Structures are given as C-alpha cells and as structure tokens.
A and B are shown apart, each in its own frame.
Chain A
Amino acid sequence: MEAGETGTRTYLGVPLYRPRVAFFEFSSCEGCQLQILNNESTLLDFLSLVDVVNFREAMTGGSDDYEIAFVEGSITRDDEVKRLKKIRKKAKTLVALGSCACFGGVNQLKNRFKDINKAKKEVYGRHPIDSEPVRTLEDIVKVDLKIYGCPVKKEEVEKIALHIAIGKSIVFPKYPVCMECKRNENICLFELGEPCLGPVTRAGCDSWCPNSRAGCWGCRGPADEPNMEQMKKIMEEYGFSEETIMDRLECFGGFSSLMGKGNTK
C-alpha cells in the first residue's frame, strides 16, 4: 500500500490516513529511533499504519517525499542547522522525537561550560573541532509535536501513529509522574531515601524509573504548572544536597527554563 493512499482500511467507516514518514537524527544516541525497532511484537501493526520512506538507520535509498518527519537529537553544528531547515521545508509535520530534540537532552549539559572552547579542549586538546552550544529543534524551526522521554516510550510513539491514522488528537498527561507511580503501587523513593523528580515531571512514562526503585530524573520535562519551589524544599528536607537536586534538574534540559538560570537558551 502506498503512502497517503488509504486503500480499503477504515475505522468505523472513516478512511485511515497513512502518512509517509521519515526519521532523521542529529546529535544523539539514536536510541529513540531504535525504540521503534525495539517494538517487536507490534512492529508490523505499526508499519501498517505509516509508510516509512526514509529511515537511514534501517534502510538504504530513502525518499525525500515525506509528510511527517520524526527528528531525533539536538543541534550542535552549523551543517545540522541547514539540514534541519531543509527537513522543516519538506515536512508538513515535524515531530521532535525524544528529550534531545525537545530539550537538548544530556547533550545540553555541555552548555554548562560558558566557554565552549573549554569543553573542546577537555576532549580534543588542541585538535580543532567544530561544535556549538547545544540547541533544541525549537530553537531553530517550528516544531509541531513533541514526544518526550529519554528514551521515548515506544507505546507512546505507537499511540501517536495510531492517532494520526484515525485522526484523533494527541494529548499527553498534564499531571506529574507521582500519579502513575501510585497507580503502579510503588513505595515512594523518598521513603526509601532516594531523590526523585516525580512530583514535577510530566507523566506518560508510566513511572518507568520509580517502578525499578530508581528516582525520576525528569527526562520528560516539567508537568503543567509544576511546583518547583516546593519540590526544592522537599529535596532539602529529605537531606539531599543542592548539587543532587541540580544534577537531576539539569540532566535532560527540560527544566532549564524553570531553574532560574536557563542554560539552553
């Protein structure tokens, strides 16, 4: 079945939309794309909903004729800016896939170095290397949809594909991870003496980390109207140092605008 072509597939009589999709990556671990291939049990159903026309990591001979571009990674070099703009021009819908694309991800930690040359010197010595401070996709082009997470939750990506196909709107939880954590009947990490950003981080991962008795690092960025002040108070009350709090808040870049010292913009 060709892209765009809906064939005979319908949902309750409404024809499905089968978009031509492309996957692209910038500075990242490419894990978010892999998550899609990691979805073995439903991969075939997924592929029946979208027509993958460009996926460098998995296919040769990609096409430049696509409607939806899933873009992974953050922007750290001039050639990436150009490539991204070109993708934006071609794509009807540009989706930021994963925390690197949405917030800069762990990569933006390098922006802690006020002078990027210091970071370069630390890794490459005097050898010249081209790299700029990390920017998010949104810093450069318009982003239509953001899929959060490091890595993204494959079920969420699938749900999005499904919603595009049947024409349902895509909504993410507005509330924090704690709600899902309770649904999963976990013992609160604070109770166990571990720090956790669950109270301020956007839910949707099904409290992935707390389910493993590991505190949340906020990879999905802030929930709607997070109570940052209280969060910090709680961390202090439970005896976690300023540094531990910062480590978590700055890890994926989602909270940078809420930390009082924005470091991605």
Chain B
Amino acid sequence: MIFRTFEKQELKKLFEILAAHNRIIGPVETGRDRDGRPVYAFADVTDYDDVELKYSITKLPAKRFFLPFKEDLSTFRIENDTWQKEISYNVDRPLIFFGLHPCDINALNKLDKVLLHSVYPMPYYAAKRENMFIVGMDCIPQPYCFCRSMGSDTALHGFDMFITDLGSRYFVEILSNTAFNFLKNIKTSEPGEDDHVLYMKVVAKRNNEFTRHVDTTDLTKILDMEFQSEVWKEWGDKCLSCGTCSSVCPTCYCYGVDETVDIDLKGARKTKMLHSCNLIDFAEVAGGHNFRPGRENRLKYRYYHKHRGFVEAFEESLCVGCGRCGESCLADITVPEVIDSIRGSGRNK
C-alpha cells in the first residue's frame, strides 16, 4: 500500500477536479429530525460545500446506487405473437463515492462475495461495481454501531483511496493506480515518521470510542442450538414485519421479481425489487402455503442468513455492524440485543 499526506484544503481541490469530469455521490444533509439533529443521505453532489464529511451515518446505505430498490432486469418488445428480449445492466457511467465509511466499504466487500465471486455472478451488480471509484473516509463511532465486533471497523480493501483525518492534515492510503494518478492533481507528500505516529494515535483514539459490542463467538453454533428458543417468539411479537431493517441494511440483497405488461401492450418488463425476509410473503408460494408463517420465523431467518448461512458459505457474517437496522426499527429491535438474548445473556432483560 502506498501512503501520502496532504493539506486539508487540497481535498476540495481534488473534489472539484473530479467533479468537473465525473458524477460524484457523497453524504449530504437531507433534513433535521425532531430533535434538530441532521439526517444524512448519499446523494449526487456537485458542490464540495454540500458534502458533509463529518457525517455520523446515513439513514440509508449507498446500496441504491449498485443494488437499486427497483431495477429492470430485462424489457421485452412484444411483436404480435412473439417477443424480443432486451437486457441492460442499467449503468452507463462510472460513479465516484466520496466519503464512504469503513462499514459501507466492508458491506460492498461482503456483497462481492455472493454477487461476484460465487456461482452465477450477477452482472447488474458487477457492471455497477466495476464502475465505482471509492474514496473512503474514517468515521466517528456512534453509540449504536458495533462494527468493531463484526470486524468491519476498518476497511482493508474494496476502495481506491482512504482518507484519515489527522487533525491538521489528511493521511491517505492508496490502493488503485487510478487513485494514485488522480492524486497527482493535488499537492501531496510522503508521510514522515511523525505522521505515522499521529496516524496510530488517531486510530487508537477512535478504537477507544466504540462503545457497543456484541459477542459473536460460536454464534453459528448457538443459532443452530437455539433454533427453537422462546426468545425468538418475544422478538417476533415486537416485529412489525415491515421490512425496514432490510431496506436500510447495506448488505441485504434478497429480492423478488415481478413481470408486468405495459398498458399499451407493446412492451413488457421483468423487474427486480429488493424484498425483505421479514415481509409476510417472502416464502409464500402459489396456492397460499407459507413456509415462514409467523413473524418470529421470519425475523429468526434474517439472523440465520446473516450470522449462520453466510458464515458457512463465505467464512464471515453478512453484517457489518453499522447499526442502521436497529436505529431505523420502530420496534427497537437491534442486532446486539437480539444476539445477546439468543446467547442467554440478554434474557429477562
């Protein structure tokens, strides 16, 4: 890995150079909540001053840019008795993601495992993933995130460059040749020994700020053993089966496919829509049989997929510990609490 440092005002310069030629997605403020706290989202940015580099976390992850909530897999031209199928991967230009936090970068790395590196790689994702340029940015630990427990508090790969705020200047890790070349547009310098010391200090300080932890030791086995546990029922009673958790999750990718005919009957389309395993019809089949009829069955399955099935397949869990799902859940169902309760420690709380 190559490291550099640069003066803070250089970042603006870099942004502007990139913005002049590319579409940039970055964190912006989209409103204030009832307590006056800013609410952030990833959106198109053209003005550096709109980018909120010190954002806490976005409500929704950046996934809509590479796993849209709704996406046509194919369209059809209907010609009398027959049809022509047309496939587009729905991307026509590269995107720069400016300021992704480690958890969101790790989420992409996890998605890569199933959507790129397993059997039947998914071209819709691949096409967008291949056209991403990621500028990572260190984060400020929040009271609800437990990424450190999930091993996602730092991103080791999956970005082009990663910026850490050293206070007076920025420290940057460079992973791609493209990033290296882009950085030639601004003034950078080789980090000195004192920069390294400062970097370590900053990292150590941040590490101390993580407050939420969850014990994942042996979790796959425990989940298996506690399949019939009463605890699931308790969480199921609270769950609204509304799908919010999956919608806000940076790693949830389950979907459904809908085929529709255009009202003029001249075309048809096959649309993929992100679904949620908590929704009532997730495992329902024609004729009405539901393989997961109860709220607790469905909620439990979400944990099974993330913390057991994915681990079996890819040696790591499908959760980066960003805490978004718990924060957005109106019923206050949070991953750490559910896992704690399954381990027994959270019981009778």
Interface residues of A (CB under 8 A from B): 9-13, 16, 42, 45-46, 49, 158-159, 162, 166, 168, 174-176, 178-179, 182-183, 185, 187-188, 190-193, 198-200, 223-227, 229-231, 233-234
10 A-B pairs besides A175-B281, A187-B39 with CB distance below 8 A are A11-B261, A12-B81, A179-B279, A185-B41, A190-B330, A191-B59, A230-B237, A230-B239, A234-B330, A234-B331
Are B242 and A187 touching (Cβ within 8 A)? no
What are 15 A-B pairs at a CB distance below 8 A? Answer: A9-B265, A12-B83, A46-B263, A175-B242, A182-B243, A187-B30, A187-B59, A188-B330, A190-B330, A191-B59, A192-B31, A192-B33, A198-B242, A230-B238, A230-B240
B80 at interface by CB-CB < 8 Å: yes
The 9 A-B residue pairs with the shortest CB-CB distance, nearest first, are A193-B34, A182-B247, A178-B242, A13-B81, A179-B243, A183-B69, A175-B279, A199-B240, A45-B263
Are B261 and A166 touching (Cβ within 8 A)? yes
B residues 223-245 touching A (CB-CB < 8 Å): 237-244
Which residue of chain B is the closest to A14 with respect to CB atoms? B81
Interface size class of B (residues with CB under 8 A): 35 or more
Are B39 and A178 touching (Cβ within 8 A)? no
* Shortest beta-carbon distance from B28 to chain A in Å: 12
Report which of A185, A188, A227 forms a contact with B240, defined as CB distance below 8 A.
A227
Q: How many A-B residue pairs have CB under 8 A?
A: 112
Are A179 and B242 touching (Cβ within 8 A)? yes
CA distance A111 to B308 in the complex (A): 52
Per-residue A-contact encoding for B321-338, CB less than 8 Å = 1, 0 else: 000000010110000000
Per-residue A-contact encoding for B70-101, CB less than 8 Å = 1, 0 else: 10000000101111000000000000000000
CA distance A231 to B69 in the complex (A): 25
CA distance A166 to B265 in the complex (A): 9
Are B279 and A227 touching (Cβ within 8 A)? no
CA distance A74 to B70 in the complex (A): 36
Which residue of chain B is the closest to A224 with respect to CB atoms? B280
B60 at interface by CB-CB < 8 Å: yes
CA distance A153 to B244 in the complex (A): 23
Per-residue A-contact encoding for B160-193, CB less than 8 Å = 1, 0 else: 0000000000000000000000000000000000
B51 at interface by CB-CB < 8 Å: no
Most chain A CB neighbours (cut-off 10 Å) among B242, B264, B273, B274: B242
B270 at interface by CB-CB < 8 Å: no
B residues 251-291 touching A (CB-CB < 8 Å): 260-261, 263-265, 273-274, 276, 279-281, 284
